[in-house]
Structure 1
Amino acid sequence: MEIVAARVASFHYTLTDDDGTVIDKSAEGNPLPYFHGGGNIVPGLEQALEGRKAGDTLKVDVKPEEGYGLRNDSLVQAVPRQAFQGIDTIEPGMQFQAQGGAGPMLVTVVEVGETEVKIDGNHPLAGKTLHFAIEIVDVRDATEAEKEVGQVVQQAA
């Protein structure tokens, strides 16, 4: 069975950066299921999986434009330290949910000063080429519930 729209595919993956450093991978023995055509994984990877079958292995390089996008310098800004009231320790690398123009967004602290904190609203992988090693383990038709919501619906155990 091929991966096409409205099917659920499950795959093992290892994601590395340009230096070969592992950024993320599927949990041991637990492939990642996704609803194909639902926009639930980065577009470049979803396109590369189209038409593939269980048992296929492939390497996919996803450019920033088809991954988490290019970096947007306007998403890096300094905010008053007072905006972090109630938080005693603020360190680079910490992440917080902030309210952006399009709703909630995740920001990462990049620099902490006496009166200001520099935050970055870009996705941590924005501007990076993503290198995936993929092993497809299963392809099935989506259930009616999955088709309705456009994503995998986990069954209660």
Structure 2
Amino acid sequence: MELKSDLLNTLQGEDDLGVVIRSHIIVEQYLNKIIESKLESIAHYKKIKLDYHDTIKLAISLGLDSRLEKPLNALGTLRNDFAHNLRPVISAQDVNNLYACLGENDKKVLQVSLDKTRKQLPESGISKYQGLEPKDKYILIAIVLCGALELVCKKIPN
């Protein structure tokens, strides 16, 4: 499963609503794969109607690193806000709140990845994190979370 590459392809050219909704769908796919890898009966699991936040709790209870609980919940809350209030843009406060939920290691991964990209593509004019638009910050955070989930998925035996 290479959902991280799907995420990058999907988010290119999306408006803010599309970015939030589509990234959430991909994160939820990762969570379901992680959960299903631990179950004896996937068919019975699929009959359970868990909301997104309950899905996170189940994944954590099955061994997903608890450091991801807070940012994954924040991502879901933001998605719900967009879906139910039809907000047009990701605000600076939205990404500040989401960034604050990341663990120190995940913040470092985000910053190092951005710095590496900036050095490899100096002609692109990519700003430092502080200078990015809220939508771009959100995409980076979503990629970091998806990267963490993808690492877990890659460890799942076939």
TM-score computed with the length of structure 2 as normaliser: 0.27
Q: Which has the larger radius of gyration?
A: 1
Would you tell me which structure has more helix in proportion to its own residues?
2
TM-score computed with the length of structure 1 as normaliser: 0.27
